Amino acid sequence: MTSVNLLLAALPILTLIGLLAFRVAPLPAVLVTLAVTVILSFRFPLGISELSELGSRFGGVTITLALIMLGGIILSEMLRASGAQELISLWLNSAAQTRERAILLLGFAVTPFVESIIGWGVGIIVGVPLLMRAGLDTTRAATVSLLGLTLCPWGSLGPGLLLIQSMSELPIHELGFWIAICNLPVLVVMGVTITIVGVERGRRQRAFIELAITIAVMWPVLLVTNLWLAPALAGVFTAGAGVLALLALARFTGPLPRMSRATLRSFSPYAVLVGAMLAVIGLSNVLDLGGFEAVLTNPGLWLVVTALVAPLLVRLSRAEILPVLKRGMRTFAPVCFVTVLFVLFGGLLSVNGMGGTLAAGAASLGFGFLLVMPAVGTLAGYLTGSNTSAGALLALGTTHATTAIGANPLLALGAQTAGVGAAVMASPARVALAVSLANSMRTVEEPAADLRTAAGITILANLGVIALLTPVVALLA
């Protein structure tokens, strides 16, 4: 392998990183990068066989991603338009009993719960208003909502996991399990930072104790769900376990408030979605569904089905449905288009030989390659703001490189993906979303949210994750 080949293989990735670092929007950045990749086909060919392989390996994953985004965004719009999100927030604030527990409940459990089901920053959209109702100012509410994205590798029912599994061809349960192992530093660092930012100094000791109990409940659930149940539901179950743990702690303070019928209806779409996924996964474990199994266990299918029945569940009027669909489609179209282009870019690298060339070059680092995986994942997550996009960018090269040096690709991908998931919260797009939402909800008397403070705290938290995760990787290597 010549240095010229290595440089040319790295050129598309360097182009993308450079454009994103200079704040070029994702769409033009990925289009320019795709053009560079095609131009380099004189050295890394893209013939009929390569394009055929691209379609067979990534066609199904791309359809799944589109369905997940479509269903998740439409469902979010329906819950907001019907007032379901408002009723949910009122009940949760009342159930928490204390402000300190409410901040942990909303920031550390509810925000990742919503993000795990719907994804694409919807956890922030739900979390910011809930946290402001719990008494946080604009800057702290925006910051805590960002720090609450602790389970991003499993966001949107795990399309990023599906993509990484497809590119690496590793077992999905083992892949999810290793990512879960590496995600413990993320839970610890973000939980501690949420407590410091959101809880007054004199009340933090009790909050830290409750945080430790919550993590002790959540992390085993994350491990077990990935290894033995369904990685796509791992984020939902883990965040749900966090909700239940904190509500159980609140129960020692006093009785939980009763739920009205309207509040129960507000929660019902989430129950339908999780229940449907569990039912089909359980059915697939006892019956041979043949060719239907991949379709019936696809999370994208059930997100779309849930969005279709949501108007009946939350009593959305016919007059409201069409405007909701229009708003959802306006959000869905650009997000889906950019994501598909990132997937296409990652796929091209995998079939035209660039990924193999880069892997061979990375393998020259030896086992030191593993130690930089948390930092590499953090950089990719920050630049792309997307688990799926970062996975498309890195998964194949990481798999090839670790295999070439005789290391464990599951550990490398686990550390890398945990770093990506944590860094998504610090990406400029997510920070801007949280700050803009907080400012849109503030009263005239309240100060505007400070974007630099929110960004600075989330970046420092990510540096803390790298500091903890790197020695973990060294220990497990």
Distance CA 53, CA 347 (A): 9
Looking at per-residue pLDDT, the higher value among 371 and 64 belongs to 371
Identify the pLDDT of residue 400: 79
Q: What percent of the chain has pLDDT over 70?
A: 96
pLDDT for 360 equals 66
pTM beyond 0.85, yes or no: no
Which contacts (CB < 8 Å, 24+ apart) does range 272-276 have?
A: 272/306, 272/309, 272/313, 273/117, 273/302, 273/303, 273/306, 274/117, 274/233, 274/236, 276/302, 276/305, 276/306
pLDDT digits (tens, 9 = 90+) for 168-217: 888 989 999 999 999 999 999 999 999 999 998 888 889 999 999 999 99
Q: What is the pLDDT of residues 123-133, one digit of tens each?
A: 887 788 889 88
pLDDT in tens, 4-27: 888 888 888 788 778 877 777 778
Amino acid occupying residue 59:
G
Q: Where are the domains of the chain?
A: 60-476
Residue 359 has pLDDT above 70, yes or no: no
What mean pLDDT comes out for the span 71-76?
A: 80
Identify the pLDDT of residue 255. Answer: 84
Q: Report the chain's mean pLDDT, rounded to a whole number.
A: 85
Judge whether 54 and 351 are in contact, CB under 8 Å: yes
Residue 53: other Cβ atoms inside 10 A: 14
Q: 80 or 149, which is more confident?
A: 149
C-alpha to C-alpha distances, 254 to 98, 249, 261, nearest whole angstrom: 10, 9, 22
User: What pLDDT score was predicted for residue 176?
Assistant: 93
Residue 473 has pLDDT above 60, yes or no: yes
Q: For residue range 291-309, what is the model confidence (pLDDT) as tens digits? A: 777 788 777 888 889 999 9
Chain Cα centroid distance, residue 324: 24
**pLDDT value of residue 57:** 67
Number of neighbouring beta carbons within 10 Å of residue 364: 13
